[in-house]
Amino acid sequence: MFSIAVIGAGYWGPNLIRNFRSNPAWDLVAVCDLDEQRARKVVGSRSTVEVETSVERLLARDDIDAVAIATPARTHAPLALAAFEAGKHVLVEKPLADNAETAALMVSAADAAGKVLMIDHTFCYTSAVQRIRDVIAAGELGEVLYVDSTRINLGLVQPDVDVFWDLAPHDLSILDFILPGGLRPETVTASGADPLGAGKACVGYLTLPLGNGGIAHINVNWLSPTKIRQMVIGGSRRTLVWDDMNPAQRISIHDRGVDLRTQAADAARREAVTVSYRMGDVVVPALKETEALAGVATEFAAAIEAGRAPQTDGRSGLRVLSVLEAASASLASGGPVRTDGATVADRELVA
């Protein structure tokens, strides 16, 4: 069992607190928030969990192995760097930081301290996304040819971020998790619209080449009266459809698609290509209904125990952040932004 303190008891912190409290791998010893009353309310009056208002005092304690940071994004880097300095493992809420440059410092500091840096890409710990990753890794879909992701609903227009920064981190972290080799697009193209004059993009489209001639497309939108959470992953063998709004059939795998057979003798001529349609079975895998954050808490402990990187480590947070920054650059320039698919993982945009 490891001991942990949660920093930040606002909207999301209580979810982490509840999960670390109930997880047998963890002993939740303290909750820290600048607002003492807020922390007291979440901890409850009869609890043995301590309340702290000073991060400095908290990090000076040697009975705490790890901290979970659920404070606003701009505070993630300073808090995490101080935690590594104090020899703690760190779980940090998404996004890893408010910019990729400081996020890269967090990754280096974790490496230098020999501590685990995990990011809470919550969706990656749902049974649906874990299954999608397994299905792709087992080759059941064949090569991934396209991904089409839709995340639209009536959303709050956020004061500090546009619709890309608000919603696309979910799609990007999922892509990073399920695609073999992670999220390493060579270019990022974003187009957005602000039809209500809110001062930022409220409707957005993001296009990322997949490197094998394939393509991923992400549609995010705050103005849609219907809530859609759907991802279609088309493979050379099968196509997977994930509909997160349909609990009875979240995932379906379709043995249906298009086969192209090129007649070798005259491959260049259009009429030499034969198209045929496969109309095979549709399989609906049974999924366990589990709370994703329980999986986050378990994976954090398992990574510390084994001295290995967690499934969603600091580098995955950095890749997602790098693509978001490229998306902002693309919106500003009105065209595709070249990234180096290899080094985008290490943050550096080359154009």
Ligand X SMILES: NC(=O)c1ccc[n+]([C@@H]2O[C@H](COP(=O)([O-])OP(=O)(O)OC[C@H]3O[C@@H](n4cnc5c(N)ncnc54)[C@H](O)[C@@H]3O)[C@@H](O)[C@H]2O)c1
Alpha-carbon distances, residue 262 vs 141, 170, 258, 266, 269 (angstroms): 21, 38, 13, 8, 9
Q: Which stretch binds ligand X (CB under 6 A): 28-36, 158-166, 196-204, 341-349?
A: 28-36
Binding mask 113-152 for ligand X (x = CB under 6 A): -------x-x------------------------------
Find residue 338's DSSP bridge partners. Answer: 187
Nearer to ligand X among residue 41 and residue 217 (C-beta) = 41
Q: Is 9 in the site for ligand X (CB under 6 A)?
A: yes
Candidates 28, 29, 31, 32; binder of ligand X (CB under 6 A) is: 32
Cα–Cα distance measured from residue 351 to residue 337, given in angstroms and rounded to the nearest whole number: 6
CA angle 136, 137, 143 (to 5 degrees): 55
Structure-token pair, residue 51: 């309340």
Q: Is 35 in the site for ligand X (CB under 6 A)?
A: yes
Q: Which stretch binds ligand X (CB under 6 A): 10-18, 40-48, 267-275, 342-350?
A: 10-18
Cis bond before residue 95 (omega within 30° of 0): yes
Q: Are 136 and 320 in contact (CB under 8 A)?
A: no
Nearer to ligand X among residue 52 and residue 65 (C-beta) = 52
Q: Is 41 in the site for ligand X (CB under 6 A)?
A: no
Q: Is 93 in the site for ligand X (CB under 6 A)?
A: yes
* Concatenated DSSP letters of 68-132: EE-S-GGGHHHHHHHHHHTT-EEEEESSS-SSHHHHHHHHHHHHHHT--EEEE-GGGGSHHHHHH
Q: Side chain identity at 274, as an amino acid letter?
A: T
Cα–Cα distance measured from residue 305 to residue 116, given in angstroms and rounded to the nearest whole number: 10
Q: How far is the CB of 259 from ligand X (least distance, A)?
A: 39
Candidates 2, 3, 12, 99; binder of ligand X (CB under 6 A) is: 12
Candidates 75, 99, 150, 158; binder of ligand X (CB under 6 A) is: 75
Chain residue whose CB lies nearest ligand X: 10
Q: Is 314 in the site for ligand X (CB under 6 A)?
A: no
Residue whose pair of structure tokens reads 């510390």 in the numeric block: 304
Structure-token pair, residue 91: 């779980």
Q: Is 155 in the site for ligand X (CB under 6 A)?
A: no
Candidates 4, 5, 6, 8; binder of ligand X (CB under 6 A) is: 8
Binding stretches for ligand X (CB under 6 A): 7-13, 32-35, 38, 55, 70-73, 75, 93-94, 120, 122
